[in-house]
Amino acid sequence: MRPTAVKHKGIGLGVAAWLLGLLFFLPIAWMVLTSLHSEPDAATNPPSWAASLTLDGYREFFGVGGGASPWPALINSTVASLASTLLVLLLAFPAAYALSIRPVKKWTDVLFFFLSTKMLPVVAGLLPLYLFAKNTGLLDNIWLLVVLYTSMNLPIAVWMMQSFLAEVPVAVIEAAHLDGARLPTVLARVVAPIAAPGIAATALICFIFSWNELLFARVLTGVVAETAPVFLTGFITSQGLFLAKVCAASLVISLPVLAAGFAAQDKLVQGLSLGAVK
């Protein structure tokens, strides 16, 4: 009798997990359905489950029926996120190497300094950055965002990579040095290939955080350098007339992050926990 009881409990908990999973996913499923409805069908109470489907919401979002095109904002976000991710990797990789494989003295202090900058609230430096940008003509310039996103993600990247690089066997590196390889060669040819999955996780997380960022972009960009999240803020006060368009916009702009996140679920866990979770 006991094994059956255990089995029943197991099935019950499995069903509970499924129900909770569907409950958490429901808002997103509803967003997808709403994005595929016509505007009148999207804004009904009770909800219209079976209304006919249309791509009008997406056409509207891409500015087919007039209105601002989202392409400049999407391109800006892509440039800012990719460029800052690349810059983060270029700066964080050597730093993480110095902190993990050939530790400098007081290396934990240095690590803590990096993480402490993450605790310095963004708002604490926003005004001087705004004034600086205004006086140097860098306001509404995507490259200023690249620099700021780099500073936003660099501490996390150094922390993550430090723990990933710590897993590279020291003997392999020393052998390469003994063969006469110089540091840049060792980094590129020996360390990077071994730590590649960790570096990929770091890059993924930097990309997601840059893509999602709103406050810097909101304050420091305008017309030319507007990013995708800033473009979305245009919908904050929009009323029911644009519900399908709002949902289509939110889904399209979330798509790169959703795709990257689903493709690398395990890496995401390892990365987000700064490599402390193995």
Partner 1 sequence: MTATTTAPRAATPVRIQGTPNARLRAWATRAPLLPALIFMIAVTQLPFVATLVISFFDWNSLYPDARAFAGFANYSEVLTDPDLRRSVWTTILLTVAVVLASLVLGLGLALLLDRRFRGRGIVRTLLIAPFLVVPVAAALLWKHVLYNPEYGLFNGLLHYVGGPQPDWISDTPLLAVEASLVWQWTPFMMLILLAGLQSRDQQQIEAARVDGASDWQIFRHLTLPHLRRYLELGALLGSIYIVQNFDAVFTITSGGLGTANLPYTVYQTFYQAHENGLASAAGVLVVIGSIIIATFALRVVSSLFREEVGRS
Chain residues 114-143 in contact with partner 1, contact rule CB under 8 A: 114-132
Q: Which residues between 153 and 212 bind partner 1 (CB under 8 A)?
A: 154-155, 158, 163, 166, 170, 183, 208, 211-212
Q: Which residues between 32 and 51 bind partner 1 (CB under 8 A)?
A: 34, 42-47
**Least distance from C-beta 234 to partner 1, angstroms?**
10
Q: Which of 7, 16, 67, 179 binds partner 1 (CB under 8 A)?
A: 16
Contacts of 275 (CB under 8 A, 6+ apart): 159, 160, 162, 163, 164, 198
The stretch among 57-65, 78-86, 198-206, 234-242 that binds partner 1 (CB under 8 A) is 234-242
DSSP 223: S
Q: Which of 7, 14, 169, 175 binds partner 1 (CB under 8 A)?
A: 14
**Least distance from C-beta 57 to partner 1, angstroms?**
12
**Least distance from C-beta 131 to partner 1, angstroms?**
8
What gap in Å lies between CA 83 and CA 55, rounded to an integer?
32
Q: Which residues between 56 and 85 bind partner 1 (CB under 8 A)?
A: none
Structure tokens at 170: 């020291």
What gap in Å lies between CA 129 and CA 262, rounded to an integer?
35
Q: Which residues between 235 and 264 bind partner 1 (CB under 8 A)?
A: 235-236, 238, 240, 243, 246-247, 249-251, 253-254, 257-258, 261-262
What gap in Å lies between CA 205 and CA 240, rounded to an integer?
34
What gap in Å lies between CA 90 and CA 236, rounded to an integer?
37
Q: Which amino acid is at 222?
A: G
What gap in Å lies between CA 141 and CA 217, rounded to an integer?
10
Q: Does 219 bind partner 1 (CB under 8 A)?
A: yes
Q: Is 39 exposed, middle or buried (0-12, 13-18, 19+ CB in 10 A)?
A: middle
Q: How many residues bind partner 1 (CB under 8 A)?
A: 106
Q: Does 53 bind partner 1 (CB under 8 A)?
A: no
